[in-house]
Structure 1
Amino acid sequence: MWSDSATAFGLDDRGRIEVGRRGDLNVLDHVHLANDLATGVVSTLLGGVEVVSFDELTGVSAGMPVSVPSSTHK
């Protein structure tokens, strides 16, 4: 399912958790997840580096914004 979104944006090296692929990962605790609030986030990894741990920023800067050409938007 996620690989479809990545492919739609031309990000062929993303969308699946596999060795050698790029990607960011969010781990959520649905029991403690609040609607419209950034709580219940167990961990966020950007490029393999943890940037959020138990709802708190780690202070580590990782990754970079992805710019998608307007011609790929559907």
Structure 2
Amino acid sequence: MVELSNIRRRFDLSYEGVESVDALTLLILGAAGALSVLLFTVRGLLDQLPEVFEAWHRAKRAIRDRAGDDDRPS
């Protein structure tokens, strides 16, 4: 028979002086904090996309114009 009392005490949060409601509150706050950091990061990346697309179009236009200038006689 395997002795589970040591394992149970290790994972029982009330054993360490923390009530289960407190542990649940900390878990919810931690998850909300991690989610807010993730959303802030995604928003920052999405805010930069229009500038990236604009720069991409400018680069394509510059390459196209340069290729057109090479075809013209001097």
Give the TM bin, normalised by the shorter chain. Answer: under 0.3
TM-score, length-normalised on structure 1?
0.18
* TM-score w.r.t. length of structure 2: 0.18
Q: Which has the higher contact order (CA 8 A, sep 6+)?
A: 1
Structure 1 or 2: more helix by fraction: 2
More strand by share: 1
